[in-house]
């Protein structure tokens, strides 16, 4: 570690980092309703006070969510902090989300979930892990660089973003589409236990509509029961497709999967159902495509029709999260990150895969290096007594700081 790096790291104060995360936790930003105004302003003030150029950005009303949730776009700002260097390029983007899931079981929490209590080296609260600890670490890294007066050879963008828990349509996706985010290197702050993740499965939600023929319940032979057809299709998914998907693997990820998550059919107790809708959750490993997925489902329905009798169906993709993330571990961004973690901890670590979903998928088709990295155990995200260790929080702040120095040095 050189003298400049030591100087910048000396700007990081554990007490300040902890108190900043506590502020973020106390600023409620649960979805729904996804109101990020208070927490965004906390982020904005911290950046501006340190001399980082920053502003709030509100999505246009053309940023349509997949949810019919009635969220007011004026209530969901994201933050864009820019630390300009001697050159405009390359651009390193730090992205982490400021919205959280709801608290539905506050009586089961050890502490008020919006108090940010510190006990035994941990900070507790909703968002302590997912994802305000990454937000805090990324912002405090930019603050340390600004306070040290560092002039980078490139641009660092820090992006505390809204709407991730609502599938990102009014957050990262909108910012990307409008040209606010055009990174050469991207680091997504998420719970990885401060390990470096290089891969993530993609997500498709698919609605299968099976069409039968209505009839009176007293004369079922006059109809074609769409619910029965759906049950036959589900059995075929489990017996035919699931085993094939288990063979599609990736060194850092679980195998490819398909899950039936919803089924809805029938209108009356005495009527043979004419329509049945099934929702499928499909997780794609790198190498799989949306077109391949839809063909496989179509082929399975055609097989069912051949084995039973002809019927009609429709497929509709209701959510497309983007392509799988699959960064080469030999990319400079990844090697640099792994080297920094080793420098700070004294432990050599290997890349991992990220099992949840992140906004990294929205850039996976751009052929840029993407890393997913942040403090806290992913198992505590969205859970009761969510927490992050102070040791990991400070360590992540230092990692983000050194990464900007080494990638834009």
CATH code, domain carrying 240: 3.30.70.360
pLDDT class for 278, splitting at 50, 70, 90? very high
Please check whether residues 300 and 352 belong to one and the same domain: no
At residue 395, the pLDDT reads 98
> What pLDDT, in 10s, does the model give residues 245-269?
999 999 999 999 999 999 999 999 9
Identify which of 52, 195, 164, 22 has the alpha carbon closest to the alpha carbon of residue 99.
164
Peptide bond into 32 cis (omega under 30): yes
DSSP H helical segments within 69-203, as ranges? 132-147, 172-177
Please check whether residues 313 and 335 belong to one and the same domain: no
- Total number of domains constituting the chain: 2
Please check whether residues 376 and 396 belong to one and the same domain: yes
| CATH number, residue 329 | 3.40.630.10
Q: Is the pLDDT of residue 340 over 90?
A: yes
3-state helix, strand, coil in the chain (%, to 5): 35, 25, 40
At residue 289, the pLDDT reads 96
DSSP H helical segments within 191-257, as ranges? 226-236, 242-245
Q: Which of 293, 320, 347 is a domain's end point? A: 320
Q: Is the pLDDT of residue 409 over 90?
A: no
At residue 187, the pLDDT reads 98
> What pLDDT, in 10s, does the model give residues 379-390?
999 999 999 999
Peptide bond into 33 cis (omega under 30): yes
Q: What is the mean pLDDT of residues 199-217?
A: 97
Beta bridge partners of 313: 210
Helices and strands, number each (H, E), in the chain: 10, 20
pLDDT class for 64, splitting at 50, 70, 90? confident
Please check whether residues 176 and 217 belong to one and the same domain: no
At residue 361, the pLDDT reads 96
**How far, CA to CA in Å, does 31 sit from each of 36, 99, 100, 342, 361?**
9, 7, 6, 36, 21
> What pLDDT, in 10s, does the model give residues 111-134?
999 999 999 999 999 999 999 999
pLDDT class for 169, splitting at 50, 70, 90? very high
Q: Is the pLDDT of residue 209 over 90?
A: yes
At residue 216, the pLDDT reads 96
Q: What is the mean pLDDT of residues 286-300?
A: 97
Please check whether residues 106 and 249 belong to one and the same domain: no
Q: Which of 278, 294, 320 is a domain's end point? A: 320
At residue 61, the pLDDT reads 87
Please check whether residues 358 and 303 belong to one and the same domain: no
Backbone angles phi, psi at 182, to 5 degrees: -140, 70
For 74-94, letters b (16+ CB in 10 Å) and e give eebbbbbbbbebeeeebbbbb
Please check whether residues 159 and 51 belong to one and the same domain: yes
Percent above pLDDT 90 for the chain: 97
Q: Which of 320, 354, 381 is a domain's end point? A: 320
Q: Is the pLDDT of residue 62 over 90?
A: no
**What H or E segment, with its residue span, contains residue 343?**
helix 332-345
Please check whether residues 227 and 176 belong to one and the same domain: no
Please check whether residues 91 and 189 belong to one and the same domain: yes
Q: CA quadruple 92, 405, 162, 129: dihedral positive or negative?
A: positive
At residue 345, the pLDDT reads 96
Q: Is the pLDDT of residue 293 over 90?
A: yes
Please check whether residues 96 and 38 belong to one and the same domain: yes
Domain hosting residue 69, numbered range: 3-200+324-407
Q: What is the mean pLDDT of residues 172-200?
A: 98
- Report the distance separating Cα 252 and Cα 258, nearest Å: 19
Look-up of token digits 């911290």: 46
Q: What is the mean pLDDT of residues 309-314?
A: 97
Q: Kindly give the pairing relationship between strand 215-216 and strand 91-97.
A: unpaired
Please check whether residues 135 and 217 belong to one and the same domain: no
At residue 40, the pLDDT reads 98
Encoded tokens for 175? 């910012």
> What pLDDT, in 10s, does the model give residues 3-41?
999 999 999 999 999 999 999 999 999 999 999 999 999
DSSP 250: B
Identify which of 17, 5, 44, 1 has the alpha carbon closest to the alpha carbon of residue 152.
5
Please check whether residues 62 and 123 belong to one and the same domain: yes
At residue 68, the pLDDT reads 86
> What pLDDT, in 10s, does the model give residues 66-93?
888 989 999 999 999 999 999 999 999 9
Encoded tokens for 300? 């399975």
């Amino acid at each position: 570690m050189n003298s400049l790096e030591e100087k910048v790291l000396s700007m990081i104060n554990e007490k300040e980092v902890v108190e900043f995360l506590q502020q973020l936790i106390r600023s409620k930003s649960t979805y729904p309703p996804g109101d990020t105004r208070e927490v965004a302003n906390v982020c904005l003030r911290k950046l501006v006070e340190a001399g980082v150029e920053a502003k709030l950005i509100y999505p246009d009303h053309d940023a349509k969510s997949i949810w019919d949730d009635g969220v007011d776009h004026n209530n969901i700002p994201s933050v864009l902090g820019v630390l300009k260097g001697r050159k405009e390029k390359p651009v390193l983007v730090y992205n982490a989300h400021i919205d959280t899931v709801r608290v539905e079981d506050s009586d089961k929490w050890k502490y008020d979930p919006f108090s940010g209590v510190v006990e035994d080296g941990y900070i507790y609260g909703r968002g302590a892990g997912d994802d305000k600890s990454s937000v805090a670490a990324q912002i405090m890294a930019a603050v340390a660089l600004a306070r040290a007066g560092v002039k980078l050879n490139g641009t660092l963008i820090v992006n505390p973003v809204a709407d991730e828990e609502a599938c990102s349509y009014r957050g990262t996706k909108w910012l990307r589409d409008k040209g606010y985010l055009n990174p050469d290197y991207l680091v997504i702050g998420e719970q990885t236990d401060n390990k470096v993740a290089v891969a993530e499965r993609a997500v498709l939600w698919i609605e299968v509509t099976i069409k039968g023929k209505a009839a009176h319940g007293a004369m079922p032979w006059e109809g074609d029961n769409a619910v029965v057809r759906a049950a036959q299709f589900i059995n075929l998914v489990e017996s035919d497709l699931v085993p094939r998907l288990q063979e599609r693997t990736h060194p850092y990820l679980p195998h490819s999967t398909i899950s039936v998550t919803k089924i809805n059919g029938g209108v009356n107790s005495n009527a043979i159902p004419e329509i049945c809708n099934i929702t499928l959750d499909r997780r794609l490993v790198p190498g799989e495509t949306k077109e391949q997925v839809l063909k496989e489902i179509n082929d399975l329905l055609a097989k069912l029709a051949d084995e039973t009798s002809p019927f009609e169906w429709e497929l509709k993709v209701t959510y497309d999260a983007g392509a799988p993330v699959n960064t080469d571990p030999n990319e400079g961004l990844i090697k640099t990150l792994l080297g920094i973690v080793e420098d700070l901890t004294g432990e050599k670590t290997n890349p991992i895969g990220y099992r949840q979903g992140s906004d990294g998928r929205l850039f996976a088709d751009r052929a840029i290096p993407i890393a997913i990295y942040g403090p806290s155990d992913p198992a505590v995200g969205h859970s009761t007594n969510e927490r992050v260790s102070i040791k990991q929080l400070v360590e992540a702040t230092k990692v983000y700081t050194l990464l900007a120095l080494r990638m834009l040095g």
